[in-house]
Structure 1
C-alpha cells in the first residue's frame, strides 16, 4: 500500500501519531492487527450482553492533562464523566480516605495530615499544567515559564524518593500514609524504589487538577472518535491487518506503536541497536478481572460508593509488602488491588460493571481470582453475592489479546529509575530509530505508560522534522 506515512498499531500513541500526521497534510494509513481499533482503549462485552467493559484504560486523568490530547481537542471529541469522588482508599478499622477534586476537602478528611497533603500533592496541583507538561515531556522540547522549571525542581526533591520514605517523612497518620501508598503503587514497582514517590505525587495532583474521569460510553468511544477524525482528514484506517515485516510497508515515514520485542521481529536492525533493545526490561504483569453485578458493591463504608477508583490493600506497610513480593517474583496472598467502578460516573454501560487487577510476576500462570475477590470482600462483605458473571485474564491472555502487553506488563516496560528515560535506549530522541524514517511511539518510549498519547506526539513531531529536513 502507498501512503506518505504508515502507523502500525492503534493504541493511544498510535492514534495520536496518525491524527497529527494527517493534520499536517500527510496521506496516512493506520494498520491494526486486531479486529477493533484502540489497543488499551478498547471496550467489549466481556461478561453479559449489553455490559460494556474496558479492556484496558478506563480512568482518563492523563488524557485530560496531556499536551497531545489538548492539541487534538479531546474534550470536543468525547464526553467525560466525573465521579463524585476521584479515588477512595478503604481501611479496616476506620473510615475510608477520600480523594476529592477539591484539595482542601481532601485535606480536611486527612485530619492531622491535611497540611502535609496540601504541601505535597496540593502544591503539585497548584503548579498546574505547565509542570505536568514538563513531566510528560521529560526529554523536551520545553517551552515553559521559568516558574514551571522551578516547580519541577521542587517536585523532583520529593518525587525522586521511594514512596515508603516520602510517606513516612511527610505523613504521620495511618490514613495519610495509606492513601499515598495506594497512589504510588500504580507504578508497578517496589515502593522502596527511587522515584515511586513521584508517581504518587503526580497521580494525586491530577485528581485535583483535572479529575479522574471516564469516557462516557466506554474508552472505545475515544478510540473510535480518533479513527473518525483520521478518516475525516483523508486518512485510511484498516483493522485485522497484521504487519509481519517492515518491508511490506510502502511509505517514507513509518511510526510503530509496538514494544522492543515486536520491533526486533519486524525489522533487520544494526547490531548495536539490536543488542540494546534486547536488554530492555519488562515489568510485572497484572491479573485482570471484570464483573457484571446485580447492584452496587456493598462497601462497608458507604462513602466509597461514589468513587470511580478504589485502592484496596490496607496500610502503607501492607501495600509495600505486596509490591515487594511481586518485585521478587512472588504472589502476595493479600495483593494490592486497583479497582474501578464505572457506574459511579457513567450509567450508560449497561448496568453495574466493575473491573480490577492486581500485580503479579511477569508471565505468571497463577489464577488470582480468589485473592482479588477476598480483598474486595474484606472491605465490602457480601460482594460475591452480587456477582452475576465474571471474566478473568491473566498475563498470557492479556498478551494474546494485545501483544504489547508482554507477560501481562501493561506499562510497556519496567518503569524503574534505570529505565525511566532509557525507553527503549539511551538517546536524546529515543522515538527515532536507526532506520531512516522509522519511529517508535509505544509506552516503551518516554514518558511511559498511560493514556496520554505523548509517545505518539513525540514520534509524529520527529517524523515531520525528518520529512522537512529531507525536503
Structure 2
C-alpha cells in the first residue's frame, strides 16, 4: 500500500474497469478500489427472488457492451464471456394482440408495415452504413469529427424530438409507437429535443449488431473484464469506501468512477469553490422502479414475435407513451407507464431452474419517487400477455431509494448518471474543454456523468484514461 501507483481508479463499474484496463495495457501500474464486496457497480447478477433464479439487478441487455469501440477490442471471450443473441433483438406489442419486431434484418423489420417501409429504411440505412465513421464522435467528448458530413446528417435527425421525427417519417401509428419504444430509453420527454437520438442509435445497433446479453448474467461481463485486467497485473481492492484522497496509496493520478454528488463528498481534492458550485448544479434525471420475477413458465405473450424477443417495450399508443415520459419529467404519477422488459431465460437456461424462467423490467418514475408501481407494471404486461400474473412464483422490487442504496451512483434512481437532455448530452458533468479532468491536475472523473453518458460501453473510462495518458505519461 505504500508503493506509488501511476493511476488509482475508484469504482469498478464498466467505466472504471475500462480506464484501469486501458492504462494497464499501456504498461502503467494501476489499482482499483471498490466500496462493495462485488465488482460491477450497477452491473451485477444476484439471486433475489428464489434460489437458482439469477437476476440482473441493474444493466441487463448490453448492445453497447458488445459494440463499444473500446470494449470490442478486448479478449473478453478468452476470459469466460459468452454472448447470447436473442432471435429478435426487441419487439413492441399492441392492444390488438399484434406486435412489431426489430429484426436484425432491416428489410424484414421495415416490411412489417408496407406503407412505412421505404421511410424506415431511408431513416436507418444511412446511420447503419455510417456508423464506423461516427461512432467515436457519438460515444466520446465533443471534438472535431473526421467525417463532418456524415455526422451532420445524423445530427439533423438526432437533435430533434422523437415526436417530430416519427410524425415526419411515418404514417402508421404502430410504426410511430415502435420507434417510441427505443427512444424512451432516454428517460426524456418524447416531445423534448434530442429524445430521438436514443431511438436512432439503439435501433441502428439492433440492426448492425443485435441486442445481446452475457450468458449467465450481466455480472459475467464484469467478471471477464476483471479477469483480463488481473491477467495483466492489475490489482483490485474490495470493501474499500473512500472518503478522503488520503485513504488511497500515493499515485500520479486518481480516476473516480463516481457521479458529481459522490465526487464532491471526497475530501482532500482541493477543488475551488466555483468548480464545486458548478458540479453541485449538475442535473440528475428520472429514476426507475425496478422489478424481477421468478416465473413458472415463459411469459404468455399473445404475439409470437414477443415470445422470440430478448427485450419487449410496453406502451400502447403515442399519447400514452408521451404522457408516461412527461409525467416523470414533471414529477407527476402515471397509471399506464412505459415498461421496458427483458426475458433472458428463454435463450439462456442457466438463468433459472429447469423449466422455470425469469423476467426483468422497470418503469420510469420521477427522481427520488418511492411510490410502489407493482400493479401498474404488471397490468401493462398483462395487456399483451394475459395470464402473466398466474405465472409469478416470486417477485423482487426496488424503488429509487433501494437502487441508490444498492449503488450510490444511482442518485434518486437515475440509471444514466444524470439527465441526458440537450444541455448535458455532451457537456456533462459541466461545460469545459475536457469533461474528464478537474481543477486538481491529479484527479479525474470517468463515470456515466461524463460523455457519452449511461450504458455499459466503457467509453467514459477509456476517454478519461486517454486524458490521463496525455497529461502525465
C-alpha separation in 1, matches of 2:345 and 2:122: 32
User: Can you list the C-alpha shifts for 1:2-27, whole angstroms capped at 9, x where unaligned?
Assistant: 32211000111001011111111111
2:111 to 93, 97, 108: 108
Match of 1:160 in 2: 159
Report the Cα offset of residue 74 of structure 1: 4.1
1:288 to 287, 290, 302: 290
User: Can you list the C-alpha shifts for 1:192-247, whole angstroms capped at 9, x where unaligned?
Assistant: 11011111111110000111001111111111111111111111111111111122
Match of 2:308 in 1: 306
Report the Cα offset of residue 75 of structure 1: 4.9
C-alpha separation in 2, matches of 1:411 and 1:184: 14
Which runs of 5 or more structure 2 residues have no equivalent in the other structure? Answer: none
Q: How does 1:261-300 map to 2 (within 5 A)?
A: 261-266=261-266, 267-300=269-302
Instruction: Tell me if the contact between 2:33 and 2:236 (Cα under 8 Å) persists in the aligned partners.
Output: yes
C-alpha separation in 2, matches of 1:333 and 1:466: 51
Q: How does 1:90-239 map to 2 (within 5 A)?
A: 90-93=93-96, 95-140=98-143, 144=146, 146=147, 149-239=148-238
Q: What TM-score do you get using the length of structure 2 for normalisation?
A: 0.96
C-alpha separation in 2, matches of 1:126 and 1:420: 23
Match of 1:54 in 2: 56
CA separation of 1:299 and 1:180: change in aligned 2, threshold 3 A: same
Q: Which has the higher helix share?
A: 1
C-alpha separation in 1, matches of 2:402 and 2:97: 37
Match of 1:71 in 2: 73
User: Can you list the C-alpha shifts for 1:343-371, whole angstroms capped at 9, x where unaligned?
Assistant: 23322212411100000000001001111
1:400 to 405, 409, 419: 405
Question: Alpha carbon RMSD of aligned pairs, Å?
Answer: 1.3
Report the Cα offset of residue 132 of structure 1: 2.2
Match of 1:371 in 2: 376
The farther-off stretch of 58-67 and 438-447 is 58-67
Match of 1:355 in 2: 360
Instruction: Tell me if the contact between 2:159 and 2:196 (Cα under 8 Å) persists in the aligned partners.
Output: yes
1:30 to 18, 28, 32: 32
User: Can you list the C-alpha shifts for 1:278-333, whole angstroms capped at 9, x where unaligned?
Assistant: 11000010000000101100011122110000000112221011101111101210
- Are positions 1:259 and 2:259 aligned together? yes
Instruction: Tell me if the contact between 1:65 and 1:132 (Cα under 8 Å) persists in the aligned partners.
Output: no
Report the Cα offset of residue 94 of structure 1: 5.1
C-alpha separation in 2, matches of 1:202 and 1:70: 17
C-alpha separation in 1, matches of 2:76 and 2:173: 38
Report the Cα offset of residue 76 of structure 1: 4.6
- Are positions 1:81 and 2:80 aligned together? no
CA separation of 1:208 and 1:420: change in aligned 2, threshold 3 A: same
C-alpha separation in 2, matches of 1:130 and 1:58: 28
